[in-house]
Structure 1
Amino acid sequence: MDAQITPDWNGWLDDYFKRYTADAFDPRHYPQLVAFRDLALSIRERKKKMMFAGNGASASIASHGAVDFTKQGRVRAVDFNEPNLITCFSNDYGYENWIWRAMERYADAGDAAVLISVSGSSPNAVKAAEWAKKNDVTVVTFTGKSPDNPLKQLGDINLHIPSGAYNVVEGVHNIWLTTVVDMVVGQAEYSVT
Structure 2
Amino acid sequence: MNKDKLTAASYFDCLFSCLQSLKITDFCQESITIDVALRRIHRFFQKIKERKRKIALVGNGGSSAIVSHMQNDLCKCLKLRSMVFTETALLTAFTNDDGYETAFEQQTELWIDEQDLLIAVSSSGASENILRAVAAARKAHAHIVTFSGFQEENPLRNLGDLNFYIDSSSYGMVELSHAILCHMITDIAAGDQVLIQELLQRQKVEK
**2:173 aligns to what?**
168
Select the residue among 15, 21, 41 that pairs with 2:16. Answer: 21
**2:141 aligns to what?**
136
Separation in 2, partners of 1:8, 1:131: 45
Select the residue among 174, 182, 202 that pairs with 1:177. Answer: 182
Matched, 1:44 2:49: yes
What letter is aligned with 1:21?
F
TM-score of the aligned structures, taking structure 1 as reference length = 0.87
What letter is aligned with 1:159?
F
Separation in 2, partners of 1:75, 1:25: 29
**2:110 aligns to what?**
105
CA contact (8 A) 1:116 1:143 kept: yes
| Structure 2 unaligned spans of 5+ | 23-32, 196-207
**1:3 aligns to what?**
none
Separation in 2, partners of 1:143, 1:35: 18
Among all aligned residue pairs of Structure 1 and Structure 2, give the percentage whose two residues are the same amino acid: 32
**1:120 aligns to what?**
125
What letter is aligned with 1:66?
Q
Q: How many residues align?
A: 183
What is the Cα deviation at residue 51 of structure 1? 0.1
Separation in 2, partners of 1:29, 1:169: 17
SS at match of 1:139: strand
RMSD: 1.9
SS at match of 1:145: coil
Relative to structure 2, which stretch is displaced further, 172-181 or 19-28? 19-28
Relative to structure 2, which stretch is displaced further, 179-188 or 67-76? 179-188
| Structure 1 unaligned spans of 5+ | 1-5
Deviation track 1:18-57 (CA, whole Å, cap 9, x = no partner) reads 2222232568433323322221222122211110111111
TM-score of the aligned structures, taking structure 2 as reference length = 0.81
Identify if the C-alpha distance between structure 1 residues 29 and 187 changes in structure 2 by more than 3 Å, giving closer, same or farther.
same
**1:96 aligns to what?**
101
* Runs of 4+ residues over 3 Å off in structure 1: 6-9, 25-30
